[in-house]
Amino acid sequence: MEVLIDIVLLSLLVATAVALVMVRGLIASIMLTSVYGLLSASFFVTMGAVDVAFTEAAVGAGVSPLLLLFTVAVIGRKERAPEGGAVLVKSLLLVVVTGALLIVGTLDMPPFGSPDAPAQTHVAPYYLQQSGAEIGIPNVVTSVLASYRAYDTLGEVLVIFTAGVAVILILASSSHRGSARLRNATVPDGSPHTILQVVGKILIPFILLFAFYVQFHGEYGPGGGFQAGVIFASGVILYGLLFGLPTVCRVLPPPVMEVLAALGVLIFGLTGVMSLLNGAPFLDYSVLADDPVTAQHIGIMVIELGVGITVASVITAIYYAFANQLEPGPN
Amino acid sequence: MSLSSLVFASLSVAPLAIIGICLSGSRPNLREAVSILASAILITLNLVLLGQLPDGAVTTWHSGEMLPGLRLELAVEPLGILFAIIASTLWLVTVVYAIGYMRSHEEQNQTRFYAFFALSIGCVMGIAFAGNLLTLFLFYELLTLSTWPLVVHAGTDKARQGGGVYLGLLLGTSVLFFLPAIFLTWWTAGTVTFTPGGVFNADTNPVVLSVLLVLFVFGVGKAAMMPFHRWLPAAMVAPTPVSALLHAVAVVKAGVFSILKIGVYIFGLEQLSAAESREWLLYLAGFSLLAASIVAMRQDNLKARLAYSTVSQLAYVSLGVLLAVPAGVTGGGLQIAMHAFGKITLFFCAGAILVASHKTRVSELSGLGRQMPFTMGAFLLASLSIVGLPPTGGTWSKFYLMLGTLEAGALLLAAALILSSLLNIVYLTLIPVRAFWRFDGRDVPASRADIQEAPLACCLAIGFTATCCVMLFLFPGPLLTLISRIPGAGG
Amino acid sequence: MDVFSYFNYWVVVVLMMLGFFIVIARGNLVKKLIGLNIFQTSVFILYISIGNVSGGAAPILEEGVALYSNPLPHVLILTAIVVGIATTAVGLALVVRIHAAYDSVEESEILAQDEPC
Amino acid sequence: MLSQLPVLPVLLPLIGAPACALLRRPTLAWVFACLVAVLAFLCTVSLFTTTWQEGVQTYALGGWPSPWGIEYRIDLLNALVLLVVSGIGAAILLASRASVWQEIGETRRGLFYVACLLCLAGLLGIAATGDAFNLFVFLEISSLSTYALVAMGPDRRALLAAYNYLIMGTIGATFILIGIGFLYMLTGTLSMADLGERLPAMGESRTAFAAYAFIVVGVCLKLALFPLHLWLPGAYTRAPSIVTVFLAATSTKVALYVLIRFTYSVFHLEFSQLAQALDTVFIALGVIAVFAGSLVAIFEADLKRGLAYSSVAQIGFMVIGLGIGTVEGLQASLIHLFNHALMKGALFLALAAFILRVGSSNFSSLRGIGRRMPLATAAFVLAGISLIGIPGTAGFISKWYLVLAAAAQQQWILLGLILAGSLLTAVYIWRFVETAYAEPEGDSVIQRNEAPLGMLLVIVLLALLNLYFGFDSRLPVETAGGAAQALLGGDAS
């Protein structure tokens, strides 16, 4: 049964990818991307990777198509016919060679799904067996993410922070006129989407509430700071789409988002520095409380909070930056 | 003063002079006085060094190791002192000459000119006192770089083009041949320090020695061995005092000096004669000196003719070293000195003619002897020295070189030397002869009344060097004594 | 199961190469980013496949469950997804600015406007 | 605090970047960024001396030992690269003010410095970490910030250059990710030290080969090794001047480090049968890079672009050293890594000063720059001479060891090619000298207008360091020797 689902999902994935290669026009491409994200999220579920599936659904089928749509709204949806001739031949050749190398590489691999593969026997068992005692939370993914490999996660938060800085740097017009306009703008009267606005007003509180649930339930089930941040941000974005950019900017002004983004990283980083100041290695939570397991709990809670804050505010800030392009300023 | 502080003092004269020159840039008289004072001090220092000259090569200073077995080294030995004294003396003379030349020619950027001039001399001192190949190489390259602004002094496109060839060939040969040669020497012998009798073991592979010799001879591009001689004529775009510096004092002498030093202190005469490539390099040198003479005959531009004459005369030195016999080395050493005084006189004359009459072509010089008898007289003396006829110093160098070829049993080369001297007479000595005694019977041009002798400073310089040519014939004793102390040259 | 043991990886390779192909063969700057997205997502699928254990449960500790899938690739891919979206965001921001500067997002049209940069 | 030393150089800019984002005033951001970078440099110096005296320093992040947690494992190689990156990074930030104030709009300056710190943190993180996946994460931090920094260039072509770099860079990073995935599949571990132990035990495996191939291609994209260099000239030319200095002096160095680390510490290629073939490939690509890069540089009309191609060529030299495959070769490669950072740092920084004063890096507008900015020009020439490899400069030491390594393997043709490549360097450096000291066009009188003091000091300092390390080369030579010995000799000393 599992094999069957597997085959079906993989076939669908291939079909989507092939369609992406064939299709012309950006809107269609974006929709297919979104489908691809959803399908891969489903595939991750069948593979037992629920946390990843959650994230992929939020990002691959949510944020990423959204950003693409914003871009297309600015630049238009047309796509020229693909290049033929030499470019095509060269690309095909490169792809075939790379693919062949990959196939050759797979030949000496341990079989798919084998429990005896080195990946399953070397480091991972330690996490599965010890994390219960050492960290004391059921979700092993969260244990690894937030404690064993917390430094990677700090890097991840920094990547997101960097993306925020980069997008603002790239999109900010040379003066701050854009965001000043945002702050001073008034709510537009009489929006045409009354039904959507009403439904939205009902939905948004639940979305935000769900975000908090995901944030703090991450230790027990799938979820965590990153997913929570994405969900929170999508609530904000929904609000912005329905009621206009100026409204949402008055609630959550862009400069505040920038400060929050930095603060989230700092919360994470300074937690690590706390350990450092107490003579323990960076990000060693054991100094946070007397009982090591409690200390792990506190540490994970705090850094997940940092992750959530940064992710939510960076995604919101990126949304602002893109949406700002949609309504060209006086210059 | 101790030996090492003397060497340091000698090396630091030029940099100090540059500072002085730059500071006094706005006051020409003071600036030139600084130059003259500096050169006078340098001569004195070098003469004191000569007085204290120890036997063999004595290392006076060395740095920490830059690379295993490689460091900067300074040393005092007879050949270096000889070179240093010649260079510093001619610096003084050239500065005096340049005062007259540059002022009456109204050249631009004179401060830059004098500063780089001093810098070049500083590099020459470095070459003269280099204690190993690496130090030699460093100053050698610095010399190339510091003379480049002098070559392109005029700033015209033609000057830049000439400067490009100049730099390209000199840097190219040194990076492609000289540097690998140093590397190979270090690789084979484990040291690059100048050692009397050479650095190689008796059982060194002769093939390696052959390769090394070829690399060195071509790598020292400043020695202008054909086919890497083109930079010399190209550098003729420079003002005349610079040409004098390039062709008599600094650059070309640095080249043949390096060859001589490498032959004596890196190979040693024994190993040198073991290298098989020596044979055909000898003939290349022979060819070089003949071919350059023939090319020189065809040049109408006076400076170009002198340039090719230099190519030819430099080959004499290379030939002397490559003979690998004591008389050859003695002849080579003498040739460095004699040619320096002879050729600088010729260039001074060429400059004087340019300043006084604005003539640059040989064919225009007929009859000029009546307007500029002093200059032309000096020209005659100097050309005799180049040819190697009494009563000039050139006689001695040619004599020893001839002796060397006979000692080595290379009769063909002896014939080449004689032939070349004959050619010299045709293309050099005939110039002043025609200037004094015209053969074509036409009348002297009408503008002759405008032409007078060159400025006093120029004439002073010309007079001094021409006199030296004669004095060196009459009193070669001290020079010979000094040269005989070079290992391998001793009788 | 034997045939299937590599089939999964091969399909992933095909997916990756389809994405890679879009990146290098297409001239539309947005399409390239979409291709990059597909390429990266396919690599995620590879990682998750590595972590798969036949019959393993999601790695959330429960009483009575002995076989879990490998949590480590999941952690890595969580990070990699973030990296992917970050890259996409920066890339799209650049595309928006390029469009403002050149009034086109087609590589060939843009290159025709400038001497090569 | 001494036990925390390995993590501090990375941590300072890492935490410093978000803190810097909180500072609203650009001047303050600049001062803060400089402070952080200098502190990081001081920590690196201390870390370097500790490593030098006491050997490998390990540091378990989060208190979890490798392979379960992420570990920093600083040996001489790491320490050397960290020293170069943080030193040059600090110097450049200190010198950056005038140039940044001219080229970057007022509202962007603050975030510009945040991005600089992020880039620095990313590069240092790559150079310090002992975990393959952690390396990927930090690679992305540095890459993303670099894309943004390149896009800040004054010309619209900067945007395109940044986009191209983003596409190529991301393909490279994804290739590395694939490689790491394969490695994990084979061994079940991500720690590089652990990988190094478990991989050889696997024997020759096609998966390992594919993993290596993908990592090498990915890293070479970042390294801009010919023929994967296409993004580099555009990015270097169009980026703001300061960013170019930063990239040229640090980014490719780190990429080279990654290549060396994976080749020798993870895959232990020296024991593999493939080694011979790969060495040949590296040497061939390196030689082509040297000649192709130099030839293009010779004919470029724009000095900045010329120097960018020169970087392609110099990377070629480093890869040749790697390809020779002996301790000497590797040592030469590392020495050149060190020296080249100094040379290109000085060259591009001096160029930034020219652009600041003249407004263009075109040869035609640089005529007479030697009289306008005598000190900066002199420093440029000095660094250029070092780039050629004239004795007495740091460049000579690099070339010397490279030639030595080639000679020890009896590769005489290669030796000749290396020398010929150096000669090509001389040609394009000389072109600049000629232009710089030529008379300016027309009769325009040249005003003396030297670079701002802070910038000038750093330029002159870097140029003088080129001279210093030409005479006292113990630091790079002995460190590189020790690192190469440890990598190839097998025993971690």
Closest chain B residue to the Cα of D431, Cα to Cα:
B164
Residues B286 and B419 in one domain: yes
| B219, HSE (Cβ side, Cα atoms, 13 Å) | 25
Question: Hey, what are A43's tokens?
Answer: 């595939």
For residue B172, give every residue at least 6 positions away whose Cβ sits within 8 Å of its Cβ, in sequence order, or none. Answer: B221, D423, D426
Residues B121 and B246 in one domain: yes
Closest chain D residue to the Cα of A176, Cα to Cα:
D107
Mean pLDDT of B280-285: 89
Residue A248 phi/psi, 5-degree rounding, is -65, -30
Q: Which domain holds residue B72?
A: 1-275
CB pairs under 8 A between B and D: 54
Among A19-23, D264-268, D439-443, the range with the most confident prediction by mean pLDDT is A19-23
The pLDDT of residue C53? 83
- Residues of C at the D interface, defined by Cβ within 8 angstroms: 16, 20, 23, 29, 32, 36, 39-40, 43, 46-47, 50, 72-73, 76, 79-80, 83, 86-87, 90-91, 94-95, 97-98, 101-102, 110, 114, 116-117
Domain ranges within chain A, ordered by starting residue: 139-331
CATH of the domain at C74: 1.10.287.3510
How many structural domains does chain B have? 2
Interface test mutation site (partner C, options A6, A7, A10, A23, max chain C beta carbons within 10 A): A10
Domain-ending residue, one of B247, B275, B303: B275
Quick: pLDDT tens for A41-69: 999 998 888 889 999 998 988 899 999 99
Residues B253 and B297 in one domain: no
Among A209-223, B88-102, B230-244, D41-55, the range with the most confident prediction by mean pLDDT is D41-55
What part of D 272-291 touches B (C-beta under 8 Å)?
Answer: none
Residue B192 phi/psi, 5-degree rounding, is -125, 15
Residue D368 in any domain: the answer is yes
Quick: pLDDT tens for C54-73: 878 888 888 878 888 889 99
Mean pLDDT lowest for which of A122-126, B62-66, B356-360, C104-108? Answer: B62-66
The pLDDT of residue D444? 58
The pLDDT of residue D38? 96
Query: What's the pLDDT band for D117 if we cut at 50, 70, 90?
Result: very high
> Higher confidence at residue D173 or residue B199?
D173
Amino acid present at B123? C
What part of C 14-33 touches A (C-beta under 8 Å)?
Answer: 14-22, 24-28, 30-31, 33
D138–A155: do the CB atoms touch at under 8 Å?
Answer: yes
Mean pLDDT of D410-427: 88
* Locus of tokens 């004063």: D357
**Cβ contact A229:A309 at 8 Å:** yes
Mean pLDDT of D151-169: 92
Q: How buried is residue B70: exposed, middle or buried, by Cβ count under 10 Å (0-12/13-18/19+)?
A: buried
A48–C56: do the CB atoms touch at under 8 Å?
Answer: yes
Domain-ending residue, one of B275, B298, B333: B275
The pLDDT of residue D440? 62
Mean pLDDT of D435-463: 80
How many structural domains does chain C have? 1
The pLDDT of residue C117? 46
Q: How far apart, in whole angstroms, are the C-alpha atoms of residue D33 and residue D38?
A: 9
Q: C-alpha distances in angstroms, B486 versus B224, B268, B480, D432?
A: 24, 11, 10, 43
Mean pLDDT of D240-257: 92
DSSP 3-state assignment of D4? helix
A51–C20: do the CB atoms touch at under 8 Å?
Answer: no
Those chains having 3 or more beta-carbon pairs within 8 angstroms of chain D are: A, B, C
Question: Hey, what are B476's tokens?
Answer: 């070669």
B64–D471: do the CB atoms touch at under 8 Å?
Answer: yes
Work out whether strand B70-76 and strand B58-67 pair parallel, antiparallel, or are unpaired.
Answer: antiparallel
B160–D470: do the CB atoms touch at under 8 Å?
Answer: no
Q: Does A3 contact D at CB distance below 8 Å? A: no
What part of A 175-234 touches D (C-beta under 8 Å)?
Answer: 175-176
The pLDDT of residue A292? 87
D63–A286: do the CB atoms touch at under 8 Å?
Answer: yes
Query: What's the pLDDT band for D490 if we cut at 50, 70, 90?
Result: low
Amino acid present at B39? S
C52–A153: do the CB atoms touch at under 8 Å?
Answer: no
Task: Count other C-beta atoms under 10 Å from residue B363's C-beta.
Answer: 10
CA A275 to chain D, closest CA, distance in angstroms equals: 9
Query: What's the pLDDT band for A331 if we cut at 50, 70, 90?
Result: very low
D181–C50: do the CB atoms touch at under 8 Å?
Answer: yes
DSSP 3-state assignment of D165? helix
A284–D62: do the CB atoms touch at under 8 Å?
Answer: yes
**Chain C hits for A55, Cβ within 8 Å:** 78, 81
Of all helices (H) and strands (E), which one includes residue B60?
strand B58-67
Q: How far apart, in whole angstroms, are the C-alpha atoms of residue D400 and residue B183?
A: 8
Question: Hey, what are B187's tokens?
Answer: 């690789």
**Chain C hits for D308, Cβ within 8 Å:** none
The pLDDT of residue D138? 96
Cα R_g (chain C), whole angstroms: 20
Quick: pLDDT tens for D139-157: 999 999 999 999 998 888 9
Query: What's the pLDDT band for C116 if we cut at 50, 70, 90?
Result: low
Those chains having 3 or more beta-carbon pairs within 8 angstroms of chain C are: A, D
**Chain A hits for C27, Cβ within 8 Å:** 80, 82-83
Q: Which of C94, C101, C116 sits opposite D166 (nearest CB)?
A: C94
**Cβ contact A302:A147 at 8 Å:** no
D251: pLDDT strictly greater than 70? yes
Q: Which of D161, D166, D185 sits opposite C91 (nearest CB)?
A: D166
B164: pLDDT strictly greater than 90? no
Q: Which domain holds residue D353?
A: 339-493
C43–D178: do the CB atoms touch at under 8 Å?
Answer: yes
C53–A120: do the CB atoms touch at under 8 Å?
Answer: yes
CA B370 to chain D, closest CA, distance in angstroms equals: 41
Q: Mean pLDDT of all residues in chain D?
A: 90
The pLDDT of residue A178? 42
**Chain D hits for A166, Cβ within 8 Å:** 115, 144-145, 147-148
Quick: pLDDT tens for A106-131: 888 888 878 888 888 888 889 988 88
**Cβ contact B147:B116 at 8 Å:** yes
D163–C91: do the CB atoms touch at under 8 Å?
Answer: yes
Q: How far apart, in whole angstroms, are the C-alpha atoms of residue C110 and residue D163?
A: 12
Query: What's the pLDDT band for A183 if we cut at 50, 70, 90?
Result: very low
Q: Does A220 contact C at CB distance below 8 Å? A: yes
Question: Hey, what are D97's tokens?
Answer: 């003010």
D62–A118: do the CB atoms touch at under 8 Å?
Answer: no
Q: How far apart, in whole angstroms, are the C-alpha atoms of residue D483 and residue B489?
A: 50
Q: How far apart, in whole angstroms, are the C-alpha atoms of residue D241 and residue D387?
A: 20
The pLDDT of residue A330? 38
CB pairs under 8 A between A and C: 282
Q: How far apart, in whole angstroms, are the C-alpha atoms of residue B23 and residue B111?
A: 10
**Cβ contact D13:D124 at 8 Å:** yes
| Predicted structure pTM score | 0.87
Question: Hey, what are C32's tokens?
Answer: 């390239």
D472–B66: do the CB atoms touch at under 8 Å?
Answer: yes
> Higher confidence at residue C52 or residue A307?
A307
Residue D187 in any domain: the answer is no
Query: What's the pLDDT band for B450 if we cut at 50, 70, 90?
Result: low
Task: Count other C-beta atoms under 10 Å from residue B455's C-beta.
Answer: 18
Q: Mean pLDDT of all residues in chain A?
A: 85
B402: pLDDT strictly greater than 80? yes
A184: pLDDT strictly greater than 50? no
C117–D148: do the CB atoms touch at under 8 Å?
Answer: no
The pLDDT of residue B198? 84
C117–D238: do the CB atoms touch at under 8 Å?
Answer: yes
B174: pLDDT strictly greater than 90? no
Q: Which of D60, D138, D184 sits opposite A119 (nearest CB)?
A: D184
Amino acid present at B217? V
Q: Does A123 contact C at CB distance below 8 Å? A: yes
Closest chain D residue to the Cα of A279, Cα to Cα:
D1
* Locus of tokens 């000196």: B289
Residue D424 in any domain: the answer is yes
Does an interface of 3+ CB pairs under 8 Å exist between A and D? yes
**Cβ contact A318:C89 at 8 Å:** yes
Query: What's the pLDDT band for C111 if we cut at 50, 70, 90?
Result: confident
* Locus of tokens 């460049």: D395
Amino acid present at C30? V
Q: How far apart, in whole angstroms, are the C-alpha atoms of residue A293 and residue A135?
A: 5
How many structural domains does chain D have? 1
Q: How far apart, in whole angstroms, are the C-alpha atoms of residue D84 and residue D76?
A: 12
Q: How far apart, in whole angstroms, are the C-alpha atoms of residue A132 and residue B196?
A: 81
Q: How far apart are the first and last CA of chain A?
A: 60
Query: What's the pLDDT band for A87 if we cut at 50, 70, 90?
Result: confident
A152–D152: do the CB atoms touch at under 8 Å?
Answer: no
Q: How far apart, in whole angstroms, are the C-alpha atoms of residue B330 and residue B396?
A: 10
C39: pLDDT strictly greater than 50? yes
Q: Does D468 contact B at CB distance below 8 Å? A: no
The pLDDT of residue C115? 63
Q: Dihedral, CA atoms, B96, B100, B105, B107, nearest 10 degrees?
A: 40
Question: Hey, what are A128's tokens?
Answer: 């599965």
Amino acid present at D189? T
The pLDDT of residue B241? 80
Convert D176-212 into a string of H (helix), E (strand) and C (coil).
Answer: HHHHHHHHHHHHCCCEHHHHHHHHHHCCCCHHHHHHH
Q: How far apart, in whole angstroms, are the C-alpha atoms of residue D246 and residue D230?
A: 19
A307: pLDDT strictly greater than 90? yes
Residue D356 in any domain: the answer is yes
CA C100-C106-C110 angle, 5° bins: 65
The pLDDT of residue A176? 40
Q: Which domain holds residue C17?
A: 4-59+68-113
Q: Which of D390, D407, D434 sits opposite B141 (nearest CB)?
A: D390
Q: How far apart, in whole angstroms, are the C-alpha atoms of residue C74 and residue C51?
A: 8
Query: What's the pLDDT band for D310 if we cut at 50, 70, 90?
Result: very high
The pLDDT of residue C110? 86
C5–A30: do the CB atoms touch at under 8 Å?
Answer: no
D167–C36: do the CB atoms touch at under 8 Å?
Answer: yes
Query: What's the pLDDT band for A31 if we cut at 50, 70, 90?
Result: very high
Q: How far apart are the first and last CA of chain B?
A: 32
Residue B225 phi/psi, 5-degree rounding, is -70, 135
Mean pLDDT of D350-374: 88
The proportion of chain B whose per-residue pLDDT surpasses 70, expressed as a percent, equals: 96
**Chain A hits for C49, Cβ within 8 Å:** 47, 112
DSSP 3-state assignment of B478? helix
For residue D181, give every residue at least 6 positions away whose Cβ sits within 8 Å of its Cβ, in sequence order, or none. Answer: C43, C46, C47, C50
